[in-house]
Structure 1
Amino acid sequence: MITQPNHVPERLGLLPASAVDPFLTEDLLKGEQVHGGIDLAKVVEPLPEDDARWSVEPIRSLVEDAMFEFGDDRTRADGWLAPRLHATLRLTRREAADKRLWNHLALAVAPDYVAWRHLSEPTAKKPERRIAAERFRGPADRQCFSRLWWAAELFRNGPDYEPVELACGNQDLIHTVLRLELIDHRPTAQALVRLLERGQVTTGREVNGLSTAINAAGATLVYDVLAPDEPRDPTRLRDWIAEAGSALPVGRHELPTGPDEEPAPERSIDALTNYFAELFETAPVRDRKSAD
């Protein structure tokens, strides 16, 4: 397995997509050898020096701890790392939408983590182990680090990251649901987690079937009417971001605390949880009859 580059930057930067491909070598995508880091640093756009958020050390520390702790079960690292990455790298959504930041994090700061987490296991049809290039510079729901940050942003319930742990425990939920615009409606996100928590939806096929049904129903039913959310106070998030420089490192054994925002209304979460449970009864889940 590859190790971190010889040259790891001290601060995060912006790596344009046009500059990424020369560093996505066959040796890297096979998980055999990483670039040195010096040449990559020459094409990175720096971020403001006076912003403590761009320090690399806290992120390097997190990924190293994740690799140590979850060596026997790499997928479990997602639920542990997502809330801690979000609470460490305190971003606005506009900042998080900039793929250049995630390109830099994956290629310059922690390519060893990307390889550790996403190097495929050999199979009869594909005996060669390989990392998909999109894990380094792909869309938000596939790129190694952006998928975790956005999962934490969309599934946290105000300052509470516990729903994020539950959501990230189901890979299909992350891969499928993060693509749905409806997931930005907080009661919708929390209702999905409730169904997971209750064991009403468990397998990948069930998650995919329910997601299809929810998306289809959302075309004719406005969930904001059925389950209204409270307006969010943007100053709470700005204050939380401003505190990044003085915040203590996130705990390894207890969940961090997110922005001091009001959680989604419990009445709305309950209404959608019950509605989605009814939808699931007729959702298109492959092999449901034979499984029963």
Structure 2
Amino acid sequence: MITQPHHMPERLALLSNSAADPFLTEGLLRGDEVHSGIDLAKVVEPLPEDDARWSVEPIRSLVDDAMFAFDEERTRADAWLAPRLHATLRLTRQEAADRRLWNHLALAVAPDYVVWRHLAEPSRGVAAARFQGPADRQCFSRLWWAAELFRDGPDYQPVEVACGNQDLIHTVLRKDLIDHRPTAQALVRLLKNGKVTTGREINGLSVAINAAGATVIYDAFAPDGSRDPACLRDWIDEAQTAPPVSRHVLPDGPDEDPVPEESVTALTDYFTELFETAPVRGRNKED
């Protein structure tokens, strides 16, 4: 298994897709070899030096700890790392939508983590999209966005539940519907109460939810509370002096109001009814 690049940058930067392509070698994807980091550093676009958020050390420390703690069951690292990555790398959604940032994190800072987490069979290699791909596939952006969409205000506990189920991330994260906070929390509640557990059940429920309505309809049926943008700005500003996130207890996210409980309850009940007739492959009609 590869190690981290010999030349480790001190700060995150932006790495375009075209600049990243030469470093996505067959040797890297197989987990056999990694670039030195020197040539890659020559083709990046720097980020502002006066912003503490771009420091590499806190993120590198997190992935090292994740690899140590979850080496026997690597998929479990997602639930641990997602909230801590989100709370360490305090981004606006506009910043998080820039794939160049995630390209750099995956290729320059932690290519060994990407291989460690996603190399199932050396003969097949790691999918290139884990380094340089859409938000629901790229190794780190998928975790950041899962934390952003499933957190309940400052509470990351729902993120742990959501990221503990790979099928939920793979199936739901790519759908616009999940941007409705009560929908996200209702799905987490269905997981917690054991109503929906398997990949087939999650897929079937997802199809039923999308067929039944759209975000605007669910927002009228189960409205979300207003969100004060100042809370997010303050949380981002606090990154300049924030200590490293705890490895043992969950950090706190932006101090936003939680999702209205009545909306979560209403959607949980509605989705439970939908699930009874959802097209779950392999489920008997009698069930």
Provide the aligned C-alpha RMSD in A.
1.3
Aligned AA (1:44): V
Displacement after TM superposition at 1:82 (Å): 0.0
Partner of 2:83 in structure 1? 83
Partner of 1:98 in structure 2? 98
Q: Percent identity?
A: 78
Which of 144, 149, 153 is the aligned partner of 2:139? Answer: 144
Partners of 1:65 and 1:291 in 2: CA distance = 47
Partner of 2:107 in structure 1? 107
The answer to whether the Cα contact below 8 Å between 2:177 and 2:215 also exists between their aligned partners in 1 is no
Aligned AA (2:18): S
Partners of 2:246 and 2:260 in 1: CA distance = 28
Partner of 1:125 in structure 2? none
Is residue 2:252 matched to residue 1:288? no
Find the residue that maps to 2:131 and give its secondary structure.
Answer: helix
Aligned AA (2:158): P
Partners of 1:166 and 1:245 in 2: CA distance = 29
Matches within 5 A, 1:63-212: 63-121=63-121, 128-212=123-207
Displacement after TM superposition at 1:248 (Å): 1.1
Write the deviation string for residues 253-285 of structure 1: whole angstroms up to 9, x where unpaired.
Answer: 100000000000000000000000000000110
Partners of 2:286 and 2:68 in 1: CA distance = 38
Aligned AA (1:243): E
TM-score when scaled to structure 2?
0.98
Displacement after TM superposition at 1:129 (Å): 4.0
Partners of 2:85 and 2:257 in 1: CA distance = 21
Aligned AA (2:225): E
Partners of 2:204 and 2:103 in 1: CA distance = 32
Which of 208, 213, 223 is the aligned partner of 1:228? Answer: 223
Is residue 2:233 matched to residue 1:260? no
TM-score when scaled to structure 1?
0.96
Partners of 1:225 and 1:7 in 2: CA distance = 52
The answer to whether the Cα contact below 8 Å between 2:180 and 2:215 also exists between their aligned partners in 1 is no
Write the deviation string for residues 14-41 of structure 1: whole angstroms up to 9, x where unpaired.
Answer: 0001111100001000011111100000
Partners of 1:33 and 1:121 in 2: CA distance = 16
Partner of 1:15 in structure 2? 15
Partners of 1:137 and 1:225 in 2: CA distance = 37
Which of 213, 216, 231 is the aligned partner of 2:208? Answer: 213
The answer to whether the Cα contact below 8 Å between 2:86 and 2:148 also exists between their aligned partners in 1 is yes
Partner of 1:246 in structure 2? 241
Structure 2: gaps (5+ residues): none
Write the deviation string for residues 49-102 of structure 1: whole angstroms up to 9, x where unpaired.
Answer: 000000000000000000000000000000000000000000000000000000
**Cα 1:116/1:220, change in 2 over 3 Å:** closer
Write the deviation string for residues 224-278 of structure 1: whole angstroms up to 9, x where unpaired.
Answer: 1110001100000000000001111100010000000000000000000000000
Aligned AA (1:108): A
Displacement after TM superposition at 1:44 (Å): 0.3
Aligned AA (1:161): Y
Partner of 1:46 in structure 2? 46
Segments ≥4 residues shifted beyond 2 Å: none
Task: Count residues with an aligned counterpart.
Answer: 287
Partner of 2:6 in structure 1? 6
Partner of 2:25 in structure 1? 25
Structure 1: gaps (5+ residues): 123-127
Partners of 1:84 and 1:220 in 2: CA distance = 28
Find the residue that maps to 1:147 and give its secondary structure.
Answer: helix
Partners of 1:154 and 1:180 in 2: CA distance = 11
Partners of 1:218 and 1:14 in 2: CA distance = 38
